[in-house]
Structure 1
Amino acid sequence: MSSIIIVLPKLEDAKHIKDILARRGLTAAALCTTASMALSQVHQLDSGVVICSYRIRDMHYTQLAEYLPDYFDMLLLASTSELESAPHDMVTLTYPIRPNDLASTVEMMLTQLDRRLRKRKSQPKKRTEQEQNYINNAKWLLMERNHMTEQEAFRYIQKSSMDSGTNMVETAQMILLLIYDG
């Protein structure tokens, strides 16, 4: 579940933003007056959006954006003149902020972030070189001993993996152990 962190120099302003979001059913996980406070909160949470102003007490907003992990996005609140120097790929809102615009933007950002994180989780994990070597060696042994083609050997490891409920690397290791012990 994604979280919202509000970073503004004045705590009263952060509370006001929190109240606006609460009226739309969005809960802020933390209110911070410095970027360092926000960063310590970020590392305790799974993912989310950091709402901050152009000016933060202990660092520039671009530094905070740099230090944010990729599972956090930033919403910059600033005047029109200040936004001219903001990066073009950063989500921004200009002062004065309309409550509906703020809530809609945060909802959109949270939705996009959740979609991006789900997509990343659904991608298969990359195998290490050692793991790939186990599979390749098991294929080679199956090809040599059982006169299989490379595709047949791969399919055998894959099917054995599914049948036994183990991953392909573990199945390849079992094949290597069985052949070398036998």
Structure 2
Amino acid sequence: MSRIIVAIPKRETGIQIRNLLVRNGFDVIGVCTSGVQILNYADVLEEGIVICSCQLKDMMYGELRADLPQSFEMLVLTTGRYPVEETAHIRTLSLPLKVQELLEQVRAMEEIFEWQRRKRRGRKSERNERQNQIISRAKAQLMEKKEMSEAEAHRYLQKYSMESGNSLTETAQMILEMMEERPSEK
């Protein structure tokens, strides 16, 4: 779940928006009245959603967007007084606020964050050639010394990887080290 920062010049309005979001299951970590406060929160967080008005006490939404890390998304609440251009990281919502529209926008933004997280995790879990070679060598050792089929050797590695909490590569490396220490058990 993404962390949300609400930034409205009138603190009471910001608190009302926070309470609405919290009641609907969102994680709101702060209510701010200035851009500097938002940037302080952003320094601590990896990513998040900023829900703000076009104009804060110390800066306009565009200045704030320029200072925020790329991993933050903005939902700008607009009255039409200031033109707001939607971009890849900026969405808009017209005032007066309709509760359902706000909740739908925030849910949509959270879904994007979740998709990006899964995409990043998928990239991290891809093995490089060296790791694939270690796994293949461990399977070959198991097949030779324990007389397993390739599928059995792979399941063996997966099982012990899950039980130990190590990656498949780490488990394969441990098995290779153990097999080198002992003579063949035929």
User: Does residue 1:22 correspond to 2:19, yes or no?
Assistant: yes
Distance in 1 (alpha carbons) for counterparts of 2:107 and 2:53: 19
Q: Determine the structure 2 residue equivalent to 1:100.
A: 99
Cα 1:68/1:168, change in 2 over 3 Å: same
Q: Determine the structure 1 residue equivalent to 2:159.
A: 162
2:65 aligned to 47, 62, 65, which one?
A: 62
Query: Does the aligned pair in 2 maintain the 1:48–1:113 contact within 8 Å?
Result: no
Query: Within 5 A, what are the aligned runs for 1:22-171?
Result: 22-23=19-20, 25=23, 28-45=28-45, 48-56=48-56, 57-58=58-59, 60-64=63-67, 67-69=69-71, 72-80=72-80, 82-83=83-84, 85-87=85-87, 90-94=90-94, 96-101=95-100, 103-109=102-108, 112=111, 115-116=114-115, 119=118, 123=122, 125-127=125-127, 130-141=130-141, 145=144, 152-153=149-150, 155-163=152-160, 165-166=163-164, 167-171=167-171
Cα 1:17/1:109, change in 2 over 3 Å: farther
Aligned-partner residue type, residue 138 of structure 1: A
Q: Deviations for 1:15-52, whole angstroms, at most 9, x for unmatched residues? A: 31331442462574212234342133135457642112
Pairs aligned (count): 171
Distance in 2 (alpha carbons) for counterparts of 1:32 and 1:68: 20
Q: Deviations for 1:97-150, whole angstroms, at most 9, x for unmatched residues? A: 32425642455246525753774587582335553342133245456x46x89x
- RMSD across aligned C-alpha pairs, in angstroms? 3.9
What are the ranges of 5 or more consecutive residues in structure 1 without an aligned counterpart? none
Query: Does the aligned pair in 2 maintain the 1:6–1:50 contact within 8 Å?
Result: yes
Distance in 1 (alpha carbons) for counterparts of 2:87 and 2:35: 18
Q: Determine the structure 1 residue equivalent to 2:178.
A: 178
Cα 1:64/1:154, change in 2 over 3 Å: farther
SS in 1 for 2:83: helix
Moved more, 169-178 or 25-34: 25-34
Query: Does the aligned pair in 1 maintain the 2:74–2:89 contact within 8 Å?
Result: no
Moved more, 134-143 or 113-122: 113-122
Query: Does the aligned pair in 2 maintain the 1:134–1:172 contact within 8 Å?
Result: yes
How far the C-alpha of 1:5 sits from its partner, in A, is 0.6
